[in-house]
A and B are shown apart, each in its own frame.
Chain A
Amino acid sequence: MAEELKIGVVSCSGEDCAGGTISRLATRKMIDEIRPDNTVTICLPLFIAGGQEERMFAKEYPTIAVDGCKQACAKRATEKYSGKVNSVVFVSEIIGDEFAESPALSTRDLTTEHQAMVDKVAAEITKQFDEIMNAKGKDSGARKSSSCSCGCDC
Chain B
Amino acid sequence: MSTNKKVNVIACSGMGKVYGLMAREAVLHTVQRLCPEQAKTLCLAYIVTGDEEALAGFDNQPCITVDGCPAMCSAKSVAAMGGDIKEELKVLDVMKLHKGAKPGTATELTPEGWAITEEIAAKIAERVQEIQKEER
Contacts and interface: CB of A to CB of B under 8 A. Distances in A.
Q: Give the interface residue-count category, chain A.
A: 35 or more
Interface residues of B, number: 39
Interface in A41-92: 41-50, 71, 73-74, 76-77, 80-81
A105 to B, nearest CB: 8
B50 interface: yes
Interface in B82-128: 105-109, 114
Given A28-B15, A43-B13, A15 B109 contact: no
B62 interface: no
Contact of A71 (B21, B49, B77, B109): B49
A17 interface: yes
A46 B107 CA distance: 19
Interface in B42-76: 42-46, 48-51, 54, 71-74, 76
A25 interface: yes
Nearest to B25: A106
B63 to A, nearest CB: 13
B42 A15 contact: yes
Contacts of B42: 15-16
B27 interface: yes
A73 B57 CA distance: 15
A45 B77 contact: yes
A28 B73 contact: no
Contact of A27 (B15, B43, B48): B15
A16 B20 contact: no
A17 B72 CA distance: 22
B13 A45 contact: yes
B24 A43 contact: no
Contact of B27 (A15, A25, A73): A15
Interface of B: 10-16, 20-21, 24-25, 27-29, 32, 41-46, 48-51, 54, 71-74, 76-77, 80, 105-109, 114
Interface of A: 11-17, 20, 24-25, 27-29, 32, 41-50, 71, 73-74, 76-77, 80-81, 103-104, 106-108
